[in-house]
Structure 1
Amino acid sequence: MEREDAGAGVTKFAAVSACIGMAVFYVALLYSPTLILRLPPPNSYTSFLTRRFCAAVSSIVSLIVASLILPITGCEASSLLCVYGIRMDHIWQALVYPLLLTAFMYSGSFALKFLIMLQTSREYLDSGGNLSVACVKSISLKTVDWVVSTASCMSSWRNYFVAPLTEELVFRACMIPLLLCGGFSTYTVIFLCPVFFSFAHMNHLLEFYLQRNYSLLKACQVVGFQLVYTVIFGAYASFLLIRTGHLTAPLIAHIFCNFMGLPVIHSGRSGMVSLVFVIGVVSFSKLLFPLTTPYLYNDEGDNCSCWHRYCSWS
């Protein structure tokens, strides 16, 4: 499948309008069960399936709309999926390298977990227990408990699987090709796309203010912090897709971040946590471009007609 020159058939206004429409449609359809069907919060299996079905519908509609707007020539389904970064080639690179890169930002979190485990081990040794047996038993039980609780928890399925997949499809796979073909520069797209992503989280303001009875000031503070975080992550996820041309890269980073939560920067337990966090940030900065080198994720980089401009990166 070939692409026409950037901007051919897609104006900046059309691209931005389409992105805004997708973001609004995603949020509106996701929360329609509450507003229209009057369903309770998604704490039941039926309620969960209804909301996730709405998210799936909005994702499919966005994919179809984007395919109609983008100046695509050819009709092979595999080629169309490549436009969205949905590929099976170089899959292990797209899984391993972005995951490793993202993990560096959580160096402080890993250090804190290690310190907690070390302290627990010392306390167990002081009590005269067998450390090796205790560690194996503790890790085994915690692993089994986590698998069982995750598999049976609707929020876990939403946070770790459904939400990352549908959000990456709409806010990265559909919007980035539209904005690039609309004539926006690569770096503009990286920082513009997260704006639509953050707008999709504005609904939390009403959730905190109306449902959880937060004061308006506190609700704005909480949501404001969330928006800053989503913009930062959205820029990073957009960078990964544009840099690699592979949707798996931002998807695995999204799942990992949802699982880990916010990175631990400081802990009262030890200054080592902050030191390790700084080392992780420096490592992330040093490896950001090497671990996302386009040639790791694509067979060719010269004279290509790619949709994500990976061939223009050095």
Structure 2
Amino acid sequence: MTTPAVPGAAAVAACAAMAVSYVAVLYAPTVLLRLPPPASLRVFLHRRFACAAVASAASALATAALLRVWNLGDFSDMLAVFGIRKDHLLEAAVIPLLLTSLVYAGSFVARLWVLVSSWGGDGNEVGIGCAHRIAYRIQAAVEDVMVWRNYVVAPCTEELVFRACMIPLLLCGGFKMYNIIFFTPVFFSLAHLNHLFELHQQGRNFMRSLLIVGIQLGYTVIFGWYAAFLFIRTGNLLSPIVAHIVCNMMGLPVFSSPRTRGVASVAFLAGSISFFWLLFPATSPKLYNTRLDRCSCWHGYCRWE
């Protein structure tokens, strides 16, 4: 069933409004609701989790209204507009995970090198101690509110708003896919400008804060290109979410490490070359969709009128 096209200007305006509202709503508890300042980091982040959920739900409802997804009839088709699908879940999770990990080959080598260098004594004792450390870290991670922020709430809500909501709107607004891939990260990066305000509130020097935020914006732009590319190619929201989690866990890739005697640099170079070599084959829409109807994007968005 066809869905009415959205005027290009309206699609851009809606995306800009979503980006602004995603950040603005984070300050609603203290600015609008006049709640007292949070007593702890846990309370502060719990408030932000609730705000992010509200902003994400509002963006999804606005997108559904603009695209009139209820005309699709079937509820699964409505969710599929946002890339929320139950088919091809294994491919959507595993392939982007492995593909994204290639960029961090140097990081893996550097961490493994440190781990191996720290081993000593009886092998069984090392294995038991390692198992205890892993169990302890898992338990600590489950109880750590920052872990939930970085690896659950932020990836899920940001990918829902900045990929699952914005990209269908822009596709229906008549924008070409390659323009959307390079255009949507602008909204994603602008949504991180609030970090400059927060760093300034913490007493950081303005120029130092500007440098930190500038590096973050550059990194988010590059990641935004990749996440938008994944979403458009796979048609599954799970793919950019998995990539987002991996990038949050690993941080900036390790290019070199003096401890590894150049091994990390070789691994990074090999991983990067493999990443770009496999980028298009590993994200071929044929791997993530049963049929394409001779269309280069999922669900035939490029043929919507």
* TM-score relative to the length of structure 2: 0.93
Q: 1:57 aligns with which of 54, 58, 66?
A: 54
- In the alignment, residue 2 of structure 2 is paired with which amino acid? R
Structure 1 residues 143, 311: CA separation in 2 closer, same or farther (over 3 Å shift)?
farther
Q: 2:106 aligns with which of 105, 108, 115?
A: 108
Q: 1:12 aligns with which of 3, 8, 13?
A: 8
Per the alignment, residue 288 of structure 1 pairs with 279
- In the alignment, residue 169 of structure 1 is paired with which amino acid? L
Residues 1:261 and 2:258 are matched in the alignment: no
Q: Is the 8 A contact 1:9 1:71 kept in 2?
A: no
Structure 1 residues 47, 116: CA separation in 2 closer, same or farther (over 3 Å shift)?
same
Q: Is the 8 A contact 1:104 1:281 kept in 2?
A: yes
Taking the aligned partners of 1:34 and 1:283, their CA distance within structure 2 comes to: 47
Structure 1 residues 310, 103: CA separation in 2 closer, same or farther (over 3 Å shift)?
farther
Q: Is the 8 A contact 2:232 2:297 kept in 1?
A: no
Question: How many angstroms does 1:41 deviate by?
Answer: 7.7
Q: 1:230 aligns with which of 220, 225, 228?
A: 220
Residues 1:22 and 2:18 are matched in the alignment: yes
Per the alignment, residue 69 of structure 1 pairs with 66
Taking the aligned partners of 2:143 and 2:199, their CA distance within structure 1 comes to: 26
Per the alignment, residue 130 of structure 2 pairs with 139
Question: Over the residues paired in the alignment, what is the CA RMSD in angstroms?
Answer: 1.9
- In the alignment, residue 139 of structure 1 is paired with which amino acid? C
Q: 1:205 aligns with which of 196, 201, 210?
A: 196
Structure 1 residues 283, 311: CA separation in 2 closer, same or farther (over 3 Å shift)?
farther
Structure 1 residues 311, 188: CA separation in 2 closer, same or farther (over 3 Å shift)?
closer
Taking the aligned partners of 1:140 and 1:78, their CA distance within structure 2 comes to: 42
Q: 1:214 aligns with which of 179, 204, 217?
A: 204
**Paired residues for 1:142-157 under 5 Å:** 142-157=133-148
- In the alignment, residue 70 of structure 1 is paired with which amino acid? L
Q: Is the 8 A contact 2:171 2:302 kept in 1?
A: no
* TM-score relative to the length of structure 1: 0.90
Per the alignment, residue 178 of structure 1 pairs with 169
Question: How many angstroms does 1:76 deviate by?
Answer: 2.4
Question: How many angstroms does 1:38 deviate by?
Answer: 4.0
Taking the aligned partners of 1:296 and 1:268, their CA distance within structure 2 comes to: 40
**Identical amino acids, percent of aligned pairs:** 47
Taking the aligned partners of 2:300 and 2:191, their CA distance within structure 1 comes to: 26
Taking the aligned partners of 2:40 and 2:63, their CA distance within structure 1 comes to: 29
Q: Is the 8 A contact 1:301 1:311 kept in 2?
A: no
Q: Is the 8 A contact 1:197 1:230 kept in 2?
A: yes
Taking the aligned partners of 2:299 and 2:256, their CA distance within structure 1 comes to: 37
- In the alignment, residue 195 of structure 2 is paired with which amino acid? H
Instruction: For residue 256 of structure 2, give the secondary structure of its aligned residue in structure 1.
Output: coil
Question: How many angstroms does 1:42 deviate by?
Answer: 6.0
Structure 1 residues 309, 188: CA separation in 2 closer, same or farther (over 3 Å shift)?
farther
Q: Is the 8 A contact 2:107 2:264 kept in 1?
A: yes
Taking the aligned partners of 1:106 and 1:299, their CA distance within structure 2 comes to: 31
Q: Which runs of 5+ in 2 are unaligned?
A: none
Taking the aligned partners of 1:58 and 1:24, their CA distance within structure 2 comes to: 10
Q: Deviations over 1:6-33 (max 9, x none)?
A: xx54111101100010011111112322
Q: Which runs of 5+ in 1 are unaligned?
A: none
Q: Is the 8 A contact 2:172 2:302 kept in 1?
A: no
Question: How many angstroms does 1:286 deviate by?
Answer: 0.7
Q: Is the 8 A contact 2:292 2:298 kept in 1?
A: no
Instruction: For residue 41 of structure 2, give the secondary structure of its aligned residue in structure 1.
Output: coil
Taking the aligned partners of 2:161 and 2:72, their CA distance within structure 1 comes to: 22
Instruction: For residue 60 of structure 1, give the secondary structure of its aligned residue in structure 2.
Output: helix
Taking the aligned partners of 1:15 and 1:192, their CA distance within structure 2 comes to: 12
Instruction: For residue 290 of structure 2, give the secondary structure of its aligned residue in structure 1.
Output: coil
Residues 1:96 and 2:86 are matched in the alignment: no
- In the alignment, residue 263 of structure 1 is paired with which amino acid? P
Question: How many angstroms does 1:218 deviate by?
Answer: 0.6
- In the alignment, residue 198 of structure 1 is paired with which amino acid? S
Residues 1:191 and 2:190 are matched in the alignment: no
Question: How many angstroms does 1:102 deviate by?
Answer: 0.3
